[in-house]
Structure 1
Amino acid sequence: MSEYEKLAQRYIDVWNETDPTARRAAIDALFTEDVTFVDPMAAVRGQDEVDWMIGGVQSQFPGFVITLLGTVDGHHAQARFGWEMGLPGQEAPVAGFDVVTLAEDGRIDRVLGFLDRVPAQP
């Protein structure tokens, strides 16, 4: 497994961590203090806001898990990877891909997220 694949899996693991204390420890280890995260649904800055955002997604979609989708691609301190989110054993209604950049210490300092599949809104 490449370093970029390991990084992407750690990122996915943070999103799936439901214990608030463990999630925050994982966020602190994976993201820089001033990380930025931007996708069509959110724009946040810093570890506190990333933690708040992930907790909010988990509250909005209880029981959903995120899994890596396809190949992780990385070079020059940046990586991109696809993911999907849904209930285990069912077709995932949400899918997208993220691009992350890394600081000199190897932690993620920027996330650019894109949504490829979302449920139709009533």
Structure 2
Amino acid sequence: MTDFNAIAADYINAFNETDAAERKRLVAELFTADVYYVDPMAAVSGHDGVDAFIAAAHQQFPGWVFTLVGPVDGHGTQARFTWGLGPAGAEPPVIGFDVIVVDEDGRIVQVLGFLDKVPTA
């Protein structure tokens, strides 16, 4: 049985990692080599694509952190969870919802992301 809570926690940890070498290692462990990630801001594939996407998020929102918001819901090979992005300890101004698909080893093969709350300029 797949532990989607652990996978979602690892996902958030990878997105919060600011050390480039450590982030690359986490991405390689968590995602398959041919992972496909798509959300309203980007469509990327592979470890390098996911890593570059995460690095860009850190550049756009320096010092902000990702958090899980609410429970992880999963069955079969897919799960969904809501995440927040904002200053540590504060109400996140950005809220998103991701659906992940995993392989038989529990590695993420696909991410379908949605943005539910985005601050206006």
Shorter-chain TM-score category? Answer: over 0.9
Percent identical: 53
- 1:104 Cα deviation (Å)? 2.2
The code of the aligned residue for 1:41 comes to M
Partner SS, residue 106 of structure 1: coil
Give the letter for the 1:72 counterpart. V
**Counterpart in 1 of 2:70?**
70
Query: Normalised by the size of structure 1, how large is the TM-score?
Result: 0.95
SS of 1:47's equivalent in the other structure is helix
CA drift at 1:105: 2.3
- Tell me which stretches of 4 or more aligned residues in structure 1 moved more than 2 Å: none
Give, as a single letter, the amino acid of the residue that structure 2 aligns with 1:10: D
Deviation digits for residues 29-81 of structure 1 (CA, Å, limit 9, x no counterpart): 00000000000000001110100110011011000000000110000011100
- For 1:67-97, what per-residue CA distance to the aligned partner results, in whole angstroms no more than 9, with x for missing partners? 0001100000111000100001322110011
The separation in 2 between residues aligned to 1:107 and 1:89, in whole angstroms, is 29
Q: CA RMSD in A?
A: 1.0
Aligned residues between the structures: 120
User: How is 1:68-107 mapped onto 2 (pairs within 5 angstroms)?
Assistant: 68-107=68-107
CA distance in 2, matches of 1:90, 1:78: 29
C-alpha separation between the residues in 2 aligned to 1:116 and 1:72?
16
Unaligned runs of 5+ in 1: none
For 1:30-45, list aligned pairs within 5 A.
30-45=30-45
Unaligned 5+ residue runs, structure 2?
none
TM-score scaled to structure 2, two decimals?
A: 0.96
